[in-house]
């Protein structure tokens, strides 16, 4: 596959966002400009996606969507499949925040396909959770459960994520009248929460 070299400044900002050090990421990003990357389309695509992430963090969803759409065009033909998937996931979340559930679902499915194409289980789980959230808002509990059941298979080796997905499944099954399974799943999540001092989810469950 094609080898792509990316500017270390962009990689630094990307890592800061990954670590959720968003204010520091925004400070570093403010030192860069679109003009710095005009000669390299893939780097420009990454820059725009990072700028969009910053705009989403600040609540400027419409500007974030504009930048992510531009980024998607630049990265669509690149070998940067995981980053393209994250652009689609960002778009889905931004559309969701604006109440555009159709846009959120379409982009969420695109993100899921991108992550599945490169066997990125972490991205797949994020996408499935995102799609489940959209389905829940639409009161499509059956689809939401299906997404989370797929996610549960992928997180089975991570005790914390298993507990999180399991409790969400239990809450959804209440809406579908699957009382016994809901009770089993919530009880399982409660056991994990109590053993790991997770007081907020423990109270909720």
% of the chain at pLDDT higher than 70 = 98
Structure confidence at residue 1 as a pLDDT band (50, 70, 90): very low
Structure confidence at residue 2 as a pLDDT band (50, 70, 90): low
Cα angle vertex 57, ends 100, 28, to 5°?
140
Whole-number pLDDT of residue 123: 95
Structure confidence at residue 5 as a pLDDT band (50, 70, 90): confident
DSSP state of 35: G
- Whether 173 shows a pLDDT value over 80: the answer reads yes
- Whether 154 shows a pLDDT value over 80: the answer reads yes
Whole-number pLDDT of residue 33: 94
pLDDT in tens, 10-56: 999 999 999 999 999 999 999 999 999 999 999 999 999 999 999 99
Residue 103's CB is within 10 A of a number of other CB atoms, namely 17
Contact predicate 119/41, CB 8 Å: no
CA–CA distance, 123 with 11 (Å, rounded to integer): 18
Which structure tokens are listed for 142? 């059956």
């Amino acid at each position: 596959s094609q080898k792509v070299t990316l500017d270390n400044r962009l990689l630094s900002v990307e890592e800061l966002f990954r670590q959720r050090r968003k204010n520091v990421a925004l400070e570093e990003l403010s030192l860069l400009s679109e003009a710095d990357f005009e000669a390299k389309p893939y780097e420009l695509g990454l820059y725009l996606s990072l700028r969009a992430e910053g705009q989403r963090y600040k609540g400027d969803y419409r500007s974030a969507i504009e930048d992510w759409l531009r980024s998607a065009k630049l990265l669509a033909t690149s070998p940067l499949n995981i980053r393209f998937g994250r652009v689609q996931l960002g778009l889905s979340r931004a559309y969701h925040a604006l109440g555009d559930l159709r846009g959120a679902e379409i982009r969420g499915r695109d993100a899921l396909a991108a992550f599945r194409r490169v066997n990125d289980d972490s991205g797949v789980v994020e996408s499935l959770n995102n799609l489940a959230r959209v389905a829940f808002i639409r009161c499509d509990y059956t689809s939401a459960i299906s997404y989370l059941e797929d996610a549960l298979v992928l997180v089975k080796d991570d005790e914390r994520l298993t507990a999180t997905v399991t409790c969400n499944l239990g809450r959804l099954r209440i809406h579908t009248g699957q009382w016994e399974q809901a009770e089993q799943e919530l009880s399982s999540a409660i056991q994990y929460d109590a053993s790991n001092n997770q007081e907020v989810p423990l109270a909720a469950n």
